[in-house]
Each structure stands twice: as structure tokens, then as C-alpha cells.
Amino acid sequence: MARALSQFWKLTASDSDAAIATLRKAVELYPNYAPAHSMLAFSLLVSTHVGWTPVASNREFAASLAQRTVELDESDPWAYMALGYLAFVARRTEEAVRRFQTAIDLNPNFAAAYGYVGWALTFDGQSEDALTNLQQAIRMSPRDPLNGFFLAGLSAAHYLAGRSGEAVEWARQAVQLRPGIIGGHRILCASLAQAGLMDEVGAAMSRLRQLHPGISVAWIQESVPYTAEPMAHFLEGLRKAGLTD
């Protein structure tokens, strides 16, 4: 477990693959060990959502792992993180927030859970409440490996609130901290375009395409779980940046 976690928290595609392989073996060897199930579920969901793992069927397997974790140990907060992530990627915001809140109830010092509450609210366009939770997560754990995601969330929350200049600044911090998190590059491109910084868009889009060669409007509509109105706003910026169907 320790080796898998140290690999996964590097948050790159190759390290994620290695961590998932290690966690799969742990689940096979120790079928009644709840933490291996919950961390494998969460790792698979993050990897699929980010775009490191292209197989969406991982979600079904992750759901079974999360449910199994609850059966083994209903006090494992990572199980509810995985269940919340499943609801989040299905665009069921209220359920996602409720699941993440259960993780917080089980562990009030769980900074990542606050961050994912913020993420779920961001993708539903609830920017101000999202910012409160994302800032809380970063304040509670300023060196948390997941802060690259939460910085990108801060960017997206500002972007969707119409503050594209602030969105650019947070997105720059996100990609500087964790260059392998593709979502940070997506929101950077959209924010640069909406802010009118077109002289920077070309290089940012080239980097995004290098990290995710198959990216398209259609892929985002299917795989990035913004709800309807935030999705339209997000795609407006990306189309301005040069993303095509």
C-alpha cells in the first residue's frame, strides 16, 4: 500500500498506472483489506477522469470496489470519496457532495474531502461555495498532493463566475505545481482565450494536445462532468482557444 500511494501521489500517467497495478495485486492478495479496495477505486476514478486511463468501464469496477469497502469497513472515509467521485463524474452533484460530506464527518481533518466538495460544486457552476471549500482544503493541507487539482478547481470556479483574469492566474499555478494534471491545462487554455490573451493560447494549446492527443469538444462533452450551463461556458473558451469537434 505504501509503495502504491507514493507512486499515485506523484500524479503522472505512468506513476498512476504503476500504482493501480500495485493496488490491483493488493486487492487480489488481501480481499478483505478495506483500504486497498477504497484506494484502488479512487485511483481508477481519478485516472479515468483525468484522461490517463481511457477505459470508462473502470467506473463500474470502481463502484464495486467502493461498495465492497463499505461492507468491509463502513468507517473508511476513502470509500465515500470513491462513491462521491462516482456521483461527480455522473453529474449528480447533490449526491456527490453528500458522499464527500460523509467522508468529512468520518474524518473532520480530511482536507481532500473539502476539496472534492469544492470540485463538485465548481462543475455545477456554484462558484462561490466552491471557492470556500477549495480554499479550505488548501489551507488545511498546503502541501497536499491533490492541491494541483484544487488549484485547477479555483481557476474553473473563477472562470465560470466570469473572472477570466483570476482564472488564468490560478490555472498557471495548477500546471506549474502538477504539470501532468491535464484538467489544469484545459482550464488554462479556456481562461487565456476568454481573457483575450491570444498570444499565449497557441503554446498552451500545443501543450494540451501533447498531453492529450485525442482531445476534442466531443471528448470533453462525454468525459468532463460539467453540468449543462457550465459546460457551454467552458466550451466557449476552448473553442476560442482553437479546440474543434
Q: Is the pLDDT of residue 74 over 90?
A: no
In this prediction, residue 106 has a pLDDT band, given cuts at 50, 70 and 90, of very high
pLDDT digits (tens, 9 = 90+) for 122-139: 999 999 999 999 999 999
The predicted structure's pLDDT at residue 54: 65
Q: Rounded mean pLDDT of 170-185?
A: 94
Residue 70 and residue 53 share a domain: yes
The CATH number that applies at residue 133 is 1.25.40.10
Q: What is the pTM of this model?
A: 0.89
**Domain assignment of residue 26, given as a range:** 1-108
Q: Which amino acid is at 114?
A: Y
Q: What is the average pLDDT value for the chain, to the nearest integer?
A: 90
Task: Compute the distance between CA of residue 80 and CA of residue 150 in angstroms, rounded to an integer.
Answer: 18
Q: Rounded mean pLDDT of 211-230?
A: 92
Structural domain total, the chain: 2
Residue 227 and residue 124 share a domain: yes
Q: Is 104 within 8 Å of 139 (Cβ atoms)?
A: no
In this prediction, residue 165 has a pLDDT band, given cuts at 50, 70 and 90, of very high
Across 116-243, the runs of DSSP E, i.e. the strands, are none
Task: Compute the distance between CA of residue 39 and CA of residue 79 in angstroms, rounded to an integer.
Answer: 8
Residue 130 and residue 60 share a domain: no
In this prediction, residue 5 has a pLDDT band, given cuts at 50, 70 and 90, of low
Residue 230 and residue 150 share a domain: yes
Choosing from 108, 131, 147, the residue where a domain stops is 108
